[in-house]
Chains A and B, each alone.
Chain A
Amino acid sequence: MSGVRVLVGTRKGAFVLTSDGKRKKWDIAGPHFAGWEMYHVKGSPADPNRLYASQTSGWFGQVVQRSSDGGKNWEPVGNKFVYDGTPGTHKWYDGTQHPWEFKRVWRLEPSLTDPDTVYAGVEDAAIFKTTDGGQNWTELPGLRSAKGDLWQPGAGGMGLHTIVLDPKQKDRIFVAISAGGAFRTDDGGKSWKPITKGLVSQFELPDPQAEVGHCVHSIAMHPARPNVLYMQKHWDVMRTDDAGDSWHEISGNLPTDFGFPIGVHAHEPDTVYVVPIKSDSEHYPPEGKLRVYRSRKGGNEWEPLTEGLPQSDCYVNVLRTAFGVDSLESCGVYFGTTGGQVYASADSGDHWTAIVRDLPAVLSVEVQTLK
């Protein structure tokens, strides 16, 4: 029988939520790695029982964990993230140059075809790759050659938080960096170029249309149509139809176009989800109403989804990696909040239920559909 496994990373440990295809009753396992910040937990598309987790601590640094049985048992693997060659410098808050310093892994993106190959997005922004199941990590340094000296951290740190693998062109990868921008490689990570034409950051950048420096919060793709990407930027919801060569705004009638995650329906490439947040200085839903907004037309026309979500006195945030979908016949949609709730909808967002509600602040949500 089919089922769903939801991998939840929180500020104080990881949790594995499982249910059958009905998605009514949920089993909650955890906390795994109790007390550690779990920035991201994700499974391999090629082997769903192979999971990787980024475990971090202000005291003890970075650990990477691997499971081969769907999250029941874990083993630490390699945690040596050393920048290629002489690391060089990037722009610091005061405009001076500052040495690149590894801080943590924000994202672990397993290969679409090989369970032992994983990409890691790290802070200070760079991308690493393992081909031996996480034992050894090697930087793909060409990314930082894409004007890395001009990247400047924002308040949340200069993290590479989004890695999107193209299912049709195996050497094409998209990444996004907070206050760095969006980039694409077409040669497996050797060379990268900024993909920011059409982005406008009039409040954040001296040159609002600069090639790098845009604060991209997340990017989503439907695998059937990989040239179409949706982006939640610091402000503005954007779309490209040419793999990032140009972007146009699709914020339309959203109550605010600030937010963190963006997601796409599993079966409808034109159905997009965002969770509007009031502003960059007030990270909670407008009017205290937690609303997911859905567009069934690829943007511009958005409808609020509220059934089952708190519609008063709600002041949580939904972080950039804390949103996912399953691919069951009736698409499930999931997100986690900084208040510790994980909400799920088994009907594309029409109705929502909190499948767990008192976890530590949720940092990431990844969804696996189990056959």
Chain B
Amino acid sequence: MIRVILPVHLRTLARIDGEVKLDVIGPVTVRSVLDALEARYPMLGGTIRDHVTLERRAFVRFFACGEDLSLDPTEQALPESVARGQEPLMVVGAMAGG
């Protein structure tokens, strides 16, 4: 079971209360987790990554285990503690503005 924490605006959009728990088939990567997330919550399509190119939106970041994974390849395996459900994958709206 993979744990995902979403920013408040996306939790509100998808009517999610608290963490999301997902079953991910195969390797646990950012891409496979987002595939499972969007399959369960179709309204999140396009809000974290582009519908077509699947590129991360510019002001969205991915963190896990205290590390910024945003620039890692999305097919790269996530840390074992995320794959085991001990640590969440955090989708974060980057601080921007002034």
Interface residues of A (CB under 8 A from B): 34-36, 57-63, 76, 79-80, 82
9-residue interface stretch from B21-29, B42-50, B69-77: B42-50
B binding-site residues for A, Cβ under 8 Å:
7, 9-10, 12-13, 43, 45-48, 51-52, 57, 59-60, 93-94, 96
Q: Which 3 A-B pairs have the closest CB atoms?
A: A76-B43, A60-B47, A59-B59
Residue in B closest to A63 when the chains form the complex, CB atoms? B13
Q: Which residues of A contact B57 (CB under 8 A)?
A: 59-61
User: A35 touching B9 by the CB < 8 A rule?
Assistant: yes
Q: In the complex the two chains form, is A58's CB within 8 Å of B13's CB?
A: no
With both chains docked as a complex, state the minimum distance between the C-beta of A122 and any C-beta of chain B, in angstroms: 13
Among A34, A35, A58, A62, contact of B59 (Cβ-Cβ < 8 Å): A58
What's the least CB distance linking B49 to chain A, in Å?
A: 10
Q: How far is the CA of A82 from the CA of B13 in the complex (A)?
A: 22
Does A60 lie within 8 Å of B48, measured CB to CB? yes
For this complex, 30 residue pairs linking A to B, each with C-beta atoms less than 8 Å apart, are A34-B12, A35-B9, A36-B9, A57-B9, A58-B59, A59-B7, A59-B9, A59-B57, A59-B60, A59-B94, A59-B96, A60-B7, A60-B9, A60-B10, A60-B47, A60-B48, A60-B60, A61-B46, A61-B47, A61-B57, A62-B46, A63-B13, A63-B43, A63-B47, A76-B43, A79-B43, A79-B51, A80-B45, A82-B51, A82-B52
The interface residues of chain B, by DSSP majority, are classed as loop
Residues in A with CB closer than 8 Å to B46 are 61-62, 79-80
CB distance from A77 to the nearest CB of B (A): 8
B28 CB, nearest partner CB in chain A, Å? 24
A245 to chain B, nearest CB (A): 39
Separation of A76 and B9 alpha carbons in the complex (Å): 13
Main secondary structure of the interface of A (DSSP, over half): loop
Instruction: State in angstroms the CA–CA spacing of A79 and B10 once bound together.
Output: 14
Chain B residue at smallest Cβ distance from A79: B46
B5 to chain A, nearest CB (A): 15
Q: Which of B47, B60, B94, B96 has the most CB of A within 10 A?
A: B47
The interface residues of chain B lying within 8 Å CB-to-CB of A60 are 7, 9-10, 13, 47-48, 57, 60, 93
Give 10 A-B pairs besides A35-B9, A59-B96, A63-B47 with Cβ atoms closer than 8 angstroms. A34-B12, A57-B9, A58-B59, A59-B57, A59-B60, A60-B60, A62-B46, A79-B45, A79-B51, A82-B51
* Residues on A with beta carbons closer than 8 Å to the beta carbon of B51: 79-80, 82
Q: How far is the CB of B39 from chain A (nearest CB, A)?
A: 15
Residues of B near A58 (CB, < 8 A) are: 59, 96
Docked Cα-Cα span, A57 to B12, in Å, equals: 14
In the complex, what residue of chain B is closest to A83 when comparing beta carbons? B52
Minimum Cβ distance to chain B for residue A57 (Å) = 7
Complex: chain B residue closest to A57, CB-CB: B9
For the complex, what is the distance from the CA of A76 to the CA of B96, rounded to whole Å? 26
Which chain B residue lies CB-closest to A62? Answer: B46
Q: Point out the residues of chain A lying under 8 angstroms from B7, CB to CB.
A: 59-60
Residue of A nearest to B60 (CB): A59
Q: Min CB distance, A367 to chain B, in Å?
A: 27
* Chain B residues, Cβ within 8 Å of A34: 12
Docked Cα-Cα span, A352 to B33, in Å, equals 54
A90 to chain B, nearest CB (A): 19
Residue of A nearest to B49 (CB): A61
B52 to chain A, nearest CB (A): 6
Contacts of B59 in A (CB 8 A): 58-59
Per the bound structure, the CA–CA distance linking A352 and B93 in Å amounts to 41
Residues from chain B with Cβ under 8 Å of A36 in the complex = 9
| Residues of chain A lying within 8 A (CB to CB) of residue B96 | 58-59
Which residues of A sit under 8 angstroms from B94, Cβ to Cβ? 59
A352 and B49 CA atoms in complex are apart in Å by: 46
CB distance from A191 to the nearest CB of B (A): 27
A60-B48, A61-B47, A63-B43 in contact; A76/B60 too (CB < 8 A)?
Answer: no
Query: A80 CA to B94 CA in the complex, in Å?
Result: 23
Q: Is the CB of B13 within 8 A of A76?
A: yes
Q: Distance (Å) between the CB of B46 and the closest chain A CB?
A: 5
The answer for the CA separation of A223 and B57 in the assembled complex, in Å, is 42
